[in-house]
Homo-oligomer: A and B are copies of this chain.
Amino acid sequence: MYYQIHSIVDMSTDKKEHIINTAIELFAVKGFEGTSIREIAAAAQVNLAMINYYFGSKEKLFESIVEYKASHSRGALEEVAADTSLTQMQKIEVIIQRHVDRLFANRHFHRVIFQEMVMTSRSALQESIICKIIYPNNQIITQIIQSGIDSGEFNRNADPQLCTVTIIGTINQIMSSKRFCNKMLNRDDDETYVPYEDDAFKQRFTNHMISIMQNHLLKQS
């Protein structure tokens, strides 16, 4: 009986997570405005009113998604940044690698976040996304580059802020649309090809990013 109670408590948490994960997929495909809570409820096979019951409103559901994911990914980059056994360039390399890994694996969620960041309306959402997710991560990268410049490891002409923009902008561009990605890679004839699931492409992309940053940041002998 205790276990029964326990499992029900879990079910409640599970249900929330279940709704969140369903919502992420739908938001990723159809956008925030384009997805109705009716669809989410239907897809998650829960009552329509449950969503407002749990999250309060559609916007708050979105914010819950942001909180949920932010809390699950926090500390990934800090660890690397704090690792004194690595050169700054090595840190950048590891961060690129991990970032690409993470985004390829969570591409649905990432697209949701990216879409809302791009949207000018719904300021509250944009604000929380930028402040809670995007900016903190970017700041870590910027500071590593700044440290590299200060220590003489990196080219003093490099622009730390814009280098960060290049790193995440390139990744975001790749993530922004499967169709765009395939078109660019001349794979648009193959509907079934998903670049984000192709390890070879992931390696190729990671190499490109690392190479770009090495060439730009490192002093040339």
Contacts and interface: CB of A to CB of B under 8 A. Distances in A.
Interface stretch (A10-18, A28-36, A72-80, A143-151): A28-36
Contacts of A88: none
B180 A117 contact: yes
A179 interface: yes
Interface string A149-190: 000000001110111111011111110111110011100000
A27 to B, nearest CB: 10
Interface size, A (range): 35 or more
Interface of A: 28-31, 33-34, 111, 114-115, 117-122, 126-127, 130-131, 134-135, 138, 142, 157-159, 161-166, 168-174, 176-180, 183-185, 204-205, 207-208, 211-212, 215-216, 220
